[in-house]
Structure 1
């Protein structure tokens, strides 16, 4: 998967014409009548009907025009093409700007303004953009289309959400720092066959009449297997993050083997759990460090992320989950030491179903990586019943981009997972033994000692926890450390652990760990 390197820089350039009154200086080109299409009736139901009609016909691959010119608009050339601020489109109070096509964004999208039940297409024109005299983009015509759009803050200096490439979008969260991405839909992710990437082909931007909602974005999605209509009500809460309420209607022209609802895409290179996997100067490098789940029965689960030596897919079966998300729990700058891109400020994203999702599984796909520029983590909901050709499936959910999951909890949470050599210093180290150390932190643990709790450790048949123990972390009241060794040479070893009171009442969330002993053994030798 391609990952945008320096996404804030790439997403800091391009924009379009004002359709509504605004206080900015008078536009230089937006007044031209040929910059906008004719008004057409619009509604979400009409967009869904359009998606249904598309799905009833064979898929048509969009044409890429002037591929030779697009080849020349590489990262550097693309960054130099900047949308003119005085051409910003005001959708109510939300300023929208547009992205130019380039090498990595070759397929145009259509963008419409919606007002009073009617839509008008915003037509591309080169004059919307500032570009160097020698920019390859000057060779393109005035009917090329845009690559995507972003919503700016009032001063037009930074954006808080952007849609660019496929069905990808992301926000800058609580600290104005971009990190992981979301997608409209994922198909056949992490399977032997090639992944299918549905793309948003049309966007409709509407001023919201709902209290607290800044903008409503409608999107038409299309791919060889499915067409769909999306409605996204978006709220930007400065200092807190963003909330997006999503309604989706999907129409399948073909069956799929793995369907990803509400997919999240992130990067995990290394942390305290696999520090041995990199020689980088920083202690940790990751957008997110774990998958959090709240099951339909109310169990809280934490699954630390891995950087395996092969593609690994993990499924966590559930019925009507209460939520899941990729979280960046470690907020300590000292653990990253990166004052350029601030991994400690990356947003977490929580998915909360707002419709009946039924049976299925939260699915986590982990791919190997040796650099931070590649997204190698994908998490999504995979329904138990795969769609058949001609079938409609509807899903609604709330996305919260914030510092943490909006979940009230009374149990302690996992705050560190550490892996190291088994055995003890001063003694021969067993080469097939790995030491696990899990830290739990929460008010419920304050005042308790190791003798007050019980450790519950579940391992595969034939694998035992060697000398498990629980101790308080010195100087950290409310933090306990569970330590044990495991002996195994398996490719993959799944583990489950939590702490409870003596009466069996859980004191911590459930930790689901996965290690790859053979990968660890290989790294020991190299």
Structure 2
């Protein structure tokens, strides 16, 4: 099951040994090529409607997988592939001194398909041709002569002056299936996003759509945004996407998407996010831990409901089996995977710099209708695997011939960024006094808490689901932080004879807690799953 979520990330942010291990773990097939959108015969400027039409045309025809890259590229191992370097002086738009530049990824190794790239200039479309002259083969001289002049690209990255005005840093990457990711100023790559998730955690298995064609709009001098259009394709559907990228202290992407099904699907995952959580302060001692206090790209899921409630679910790394959480969220107002812990002292990793990993917040534009936010937590023994997945799933799945529309804003930011605007959870700690009990220590922070004078100005409300009993609880002001600390202990109820012998046969126990105040306001809701014998 875990293999489903291992994908080839963008390795420049990882140490070399970690990059090698991560590549070796990838099992996805990245197929990225296909037919272009039809050329306009009416002379009008290219627009999103052209991508929509291309998606409709694709969905109306049987699925056709794109051809593979040249055989010599398929035989490359990781060490050879990484020796092929893009020549930075070949960056697209560099000579024009535009505010954005494009660089390209060489196909080969696990990137066994290419994407089709186009540039929109003055409303007119022209192919963006990627040739082997753009790459340095000095360390793999035998390969260059085996390749045609035009080799295509596995994906591309975007550079701009995000950290300093004198240098164009990489801030966004589109590479592999429908994966992409970005950073804001001062950040390093962490979690990723995808265009769409299809049949995640469903039988007979997940389907991975891919962006097979891109159209990138040439920016004007001084322009602060970049527009990218993308054509999505897979066995079951096709889709049209528009991305407006705005890099900065908080990098924003406005996304417009239209989906057209070929065949019915069981589950659509809208705005899917993929991240890594090996362990954190909430993890019980286990063999996965090393000398570092915490290892994760994200430490929890935050959801904002249309009722005004905010919910925080700390991330976990299950011991042996997939853990799925679903939160009913009709017309959800926002959700995301956050990395709230931004203190280097809590990681101590001078290479990975986990404290600099971005959080990603999704804000729907318009109503998405009835649905739920799903969180999937997958067992993982190494930090090289992405084992956290979150997305919105509509209750009503579209039928072939009926398009679906989902528009949203993506905010790549440094948490907490006023998410939520009031009192939030900043730490979850846990211990296991004995096999039949669990102790939790949950810390809340917020300006409201600092102003409270007495412990009883904030009241904790704790609820324990079936399978356990609340034994004791205490809530008091933390004299060090100015926040409030909630401690409580639960006792695990006796199960069946089989469950007593094999505690892992017990189902998850759901916990909820929040603080309420005299003015009738409340904190965000903290939630957690306890799996007896596992987590």
TM-score normalised according to structure 1 size: 0.87
Instruction: Tell whether the 8 Å contact from 1:99 to 1:147 is kept in structure 2 after alignment.
Output: yes
1:114 aligns with 2:117: no
Query: Aligned runs of 1:329-478 on 2, under 5 Å?
Result: 329-404=340-415, 406-407=417-418, 409-422=420-433, 430-446=434-450, 447-461=452-466, 463-478=468-483
Q: Which residue number corresponds to residue 88 of structure 1?
A: 91
Structure 1 residues 135 and 362: CA distance shift in structure 2, 3 A = farther
SS in 1 for 2:75: helix
Instruction: Tell whether the 8 Å contact from 2:99 to 2:221 is kept in structure 1 after alignment.
Output: no
Instruction: Tell whether the 8 Å contact from 2:213 to 2:231 is kept in structure 1 after alignment.
Output: yes
Q: Which residue number corresponds to residue 156 of structure 2?
A: 149
2:54 to 50, 73, 98: 50
Q: Which residue number corresponds to residue 29 of structure 1?
A: none
Once residues 98 and 64 of structure 1 are traced to their aligned partners in structure 2, the CA distance between those partners, rounded to angstroms, is: 18
How far apart are residue 339 of structure 1 and its match?
0.7
How far apart are residue 213 of structure 1 and its match?
4.1
Structure 1 residues 212 and 262: CA distance shift in structure 2, 3 A = farther
Q: Which residue number corresponds to residue 274 of structure 1?
A: 283
Structure 1 residues 204 and 215: CA distance shift in structure 2, 3 A = same
Q: Which residue number corresponds to residue 290 of structure 1?
A: 300
Q: Which residue number corresponds to residue 22 of structure 1?
A: none
TM-score normalised according to structure 2 size: 0.85
**Greater displacement, 320-329 / 485-494:** 485-494
Once residues 483 and 212 of structure 1 are traced to their aligned partners in structure 2, the CA distance between those partners, rounded to angstroms, is: 53
2:178 to 161, 167, 177: 167
Instruction: Tell whether the 8 Å contact from 2:55 to 2:239 is kept in structure 1 after alignment.
Output: yes
How far apart are residue 440 of structure 1 and its match?
0.7
How far apart are residue 107 of structure 1 and its match?
1.0
Query: Aligned runs of 1:95-106 on 2, under 5 Å?
Result: 95-106=101-112
Q: Which residue number corresponds to residue 253 of structure 1?
A: 262
Q: Which residue number corresponds to residue 529 of structure 2?
A: 514
Structure 1 residues 156 and 107: CA distance shift in structure 2, 3 A = farther
RMSD across aligned C-alpha pairs, in angstroms?
2.5
1:220 to 215, 223, 231: 231
How far apart are residue 405 of structure 1 and its match?
5.6
Instruction: Tell whether the 8 Å contact from 1:491 to 1:518 is kept in structure 2 after alignment.
Output: no
| Aligned positions, number | 485
Q: Which residue number corresponds to residue 32 of structure 1?
A: none
SS in 2 for 1:50: helix
Q: Which residue number corresponds to residue 27 of structure 2?
A: none
Q: Which residue number corresponds to residue 491 of structure 1?
A: 507
How far apart are residue 194 of structure 1 and its match?
1.5
Once residues 251 and 189 of structure 2 are traced to their aligned partners in structure 1, the CA distance between those partners, rounded to angstroms, is: 12
Once residues 152 and 301 of structure 2 are traced to their aligned partners in structure 1, the CA distance between those partners, rounded to angstroms, is: 37
Once residues 153 and 363 of structure 2 are traced to their aligned partners in structure 1, the CA distance between those partners, rounded to angstroms, is: 32
1:77 aligns with 2:64: no
How far apart are residue 97 of structure 1 and its match?
1.0
**Greater displacement, 228-237 / 188-197:** 188-197
Instruction: Tell whether the 8 Å contact from 1:225 to 1:252 is kept in structure 2 after alignment.
Output: yes
**Greater displacement, 210-219 / 274-283:** 210-219
Q: Which residue number corresponds to residue 334 of structure 2?
A: 323
How far apart are residue 449 of structure 1 and its match?
3.5
SS in 1 for 2:448: helix
Which string of whole-angstrom CA distances, capped at 9 and with x for unpartnered residues, describes residues 332-356 of structure 1?
A: 1111000101001100000000122
How far apart are residue 85 of structure 1 and its match?
2.1
Structure 1 residues 435 and 67: CA distance shift in structure 2, 3 A = farther
**Greater displacement, 465-474 / 260-269:** 465-474
Structure 1 residues 215 and 190: CA distance shift in structure 2, 3 A = same
Which string of whole-angstrom CA distances, capped at 9 and with x for unpartnered residues, describes residues 384-413 of structure 1?
A: 101222221011000000102654645311
Once residues 5 and 203 of structure 1 are traced to their aligned partners in structure 2, the CA distance between those partners, rounded to angstroms, is: 19
Q: Which residue number corresponds to residue 16 of structure 1?
A: none
Once residues 208 and 294 of structure 1 are traced to their aligned partners in structure 2, the CA distance between those partners, rounded to angstroms, is: 35
Once residues 5 and 250 of structure 1 are traced to their aligned partners in structure 2, the CA distance between those partners, rounded to angstroms, is: 25
SS in 2 for 1:464: strand
How far apart are residue 498 of structure 1 and its match?
0.5
How far apart are residue 39 of structure 1 and its match?
8.2
Once residues 139 and 465 of structure 2 are traced to their aligned partners in structure 1, the CA distance between those partners, rounded to angstroms, is: 65
Once residues 51 and 11 of structure 1 are traced to their aligned partners in structure 2, the CA distance between those partners, rounded to angstroms, is: 39
Structure 1 residues 439 and 233: CA distance shift in structure 2, 3 A = same
Which string of whole-angstrom CA distances, capped at 9 and with x for unpartnered residues, describes residues 124-171 of structure 1?
A: 311111122535642222243210001113566631101110010111
SS in 1 for 2:229: strand
Gaps of 5+ in 2: 17-36, 494-502
